[in-house]
């Protein structure tokens, strides 16, 4: 196969994903209790405010959060050479849940107050801090990043322990359970303009760092010994890749809560379609993750309108169904 032909398929997929993303963005701005009316509203009226202050930031934020999860999933699977690795592998998800639960207990936020703007800022910061803390603890238990197997096992242990602590906090303080529900089930309902800018500010440098190290990821997929023989500085590369994965996952989880399967499924869909190197896999996984989460968000808003399904529940059902189908198609 010639080089020109080998790069045509990933390029075609990227164009397809961009077209799908654009179409979903249009749908995202139209789905809601007021239907298409905000699209034709005059500047300054209520309908226009709904469009520019709620629907557009939420739509863009959902795509960006899904992009971060897709990118983190591709990095995790390449770093650990495990197709079942996902962005939450280092305990960031349960760490974020613990951070949010502790904040709700410490400041005594009621379920009603937790939906306010100031409370959402606090919950976002607590979720990000908890995710970063979990990754730091994982690195400490693994004694750095020299051994990927030890790092993997440490992430599993930290995830279980932090998850148990979060459950214990909710058990002792049941009043915070309603406020925790949207975070645990995953929601894009609180995304705003600030959230979208923050997610974009994290996605761009994270993707750039991943692309710089894409050849190192290709070499590491052949085994650490082979990668070292090819001149890859394993320890610095692992540090940067783990930083990318932790930052991308922490930012996404802090804004939309625990969204299942996006980071796991997105790289699989890309590999099933084009089988690219990491130079293409990383951006395509990001675009696929963004498309998947935005599609799930639009569907969650539309299915029971004017009520909404938790988008994390929908992604879990659809993502789990896809993996079951994949297992049936390719039995172990």
Query: What angle do helix axes 56-80 and 193-212 make, rounded to 10 degrees?
Result: 30
pLDDT, tens only, 182-192: 788 888 887 88
103, burial (CB in 10 Å: exposed 0-12, middle 13-18, buried 19+): buried
pLDDT, tens only, 148-173: 778 888 888 999 999 899 999 998 88
Residues 6+ away with beta carbon under 8 Å from 186:
256, 257, 258, 259, 260, 310, 311, 312, 313, 315
Residue that is written with structure tokens 């495990």 in the block: 82
Measured CA to CA, the distance from residue 257 to residue 244 in angstroms comes to 19
Contact (Cβ atoms closer than 8 angstroms) between residue 93 and residue 159: yes
In the numeric block, which tokens belong to residue 299? 């569907």
pLDDT at residue number 115: 47
CA dihedral of 33, 38, 42, 48, whole degrees rounded to 10: 90
Is residue 54 very low, low, confident or very high in pLDDT (cuts 50, 70, 90)? confident
The yes-or-no verdict on residue 133 having pLDDT over 80 is yes
Percent helix, percent strand, percent coil in the chain, to nearest 5 = 80, 0, 20
The yes-or-no verdict on residue 60 having pLDDT over 90 is yes
Give pairs for 108-111: CB < 8 Å, separation 24+.
109/176, 109/179, 110/175, 110/179, 111/175, 111/176, 111/178, 111/179
pLDDT, tens only, 70-112: 999 999 998 888 888 888 888 888 888 888 888 888 876 544 4
Residues 6+ away with beta carbon under 8 Å from 157:
141
pLDDT, tens only, 235-262: 889 889 988 988 898 888 888 888 989 9
Instruction: List the domain boundaries for the chain.
Output: 23-329
Residue that is written with structure tokens 């089930």 in the block: 185
Is residue 114 very low, low, confident or very high in pLDDT (cuts 50, 70, 90)? very low
250, burial (CB in 10 Å: exposed 0-12, middle 13-18, buried 19+): buried
57, 62, 37, 61: which is closest to 48 by C-alpha? 37
Q: What is the mean pLDDT of residues 51-77?
A: 91
- Per-residue HEC secondary structure of 274-330 comes to HCCCHHHHHHHHHHHHHHHHHHHHHHHHHHCCCCCCCHHHHHHHHHHHHHHHHHHHC
Q: How far is CA 308 from CA 27, 32, 187, in A?
A: 15, 9, 10
Superfamily of domain 23-329: ABC transporter involved in vitamin B12 uptake, BtuC (1.10.3470.10)
pLDDT, greater one: 146 or 127: 127
């Amino acid at each position: 196969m010639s080089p020109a032909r080998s790069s045509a398929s990933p390029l075609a997929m990227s164009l397809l994903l961009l077209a799908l993303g654009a179409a979903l963005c249009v749908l995202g701005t139209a789905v809601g209790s007021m239907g298409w009316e905000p699209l034709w509203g005059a500047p300054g009226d209520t309908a226009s405010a709904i469009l520019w202050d709620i629907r557009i930031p939420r739509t863009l934020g959902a795509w960006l959060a899904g992009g971060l999860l897709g990118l983190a999933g591709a990095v995790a699977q390449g770093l650990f050479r495990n197709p079942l690795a996902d962005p939450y592998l280092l305990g960031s998800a349960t760490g974020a849940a613990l951070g949010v639960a502790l904040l709700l207990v410490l400041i005594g936020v009621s379920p009603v107050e937790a939906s306010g703007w100031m409370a959402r800022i606090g919950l976002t910061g607590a979720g990000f801090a908890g995710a970063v803390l979990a990754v730091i603890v994982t690195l400490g238990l693994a004694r750095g990043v020299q051994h990927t197997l030890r790092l993997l096992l440490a992430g599993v242990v930290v995830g279980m322990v932090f998850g148990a602590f979060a459950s214990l906090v909710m058990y002792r303080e049941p009043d915070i359970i309603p406020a925790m529900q949207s975070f645990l089930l995953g929601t894009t309902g609180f995304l705003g303009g600030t959230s979208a800018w923050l997610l974009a500010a994290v996605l761009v440098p994270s993707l750039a760092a991943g692309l710089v190290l894409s050849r190192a990821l290709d070499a590491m997929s052949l085994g650490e010994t082979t990668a070292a023989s090819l001149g890859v500085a394993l320890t610095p590369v692992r540090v940067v890749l783990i930083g990318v994965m932790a930052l991308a996952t922490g930012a996404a989880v802090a804004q939309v809560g625990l969204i299942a399967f996006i980071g796991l499924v997105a790289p699989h869909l890309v590999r099933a379609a084009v089988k690219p190197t990491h130079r293409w896999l990383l951006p395509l996984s990001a675009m696929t993750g963004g498309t998947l989460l935005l599609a799930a968000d639009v569907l969650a808003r539309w299915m029971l309108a004017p009520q909404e399904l938790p988008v994390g529940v929908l992604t879990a059902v659809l993502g789990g169904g896809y993996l079951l189908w994949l297992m049936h198609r390719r039995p172990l």
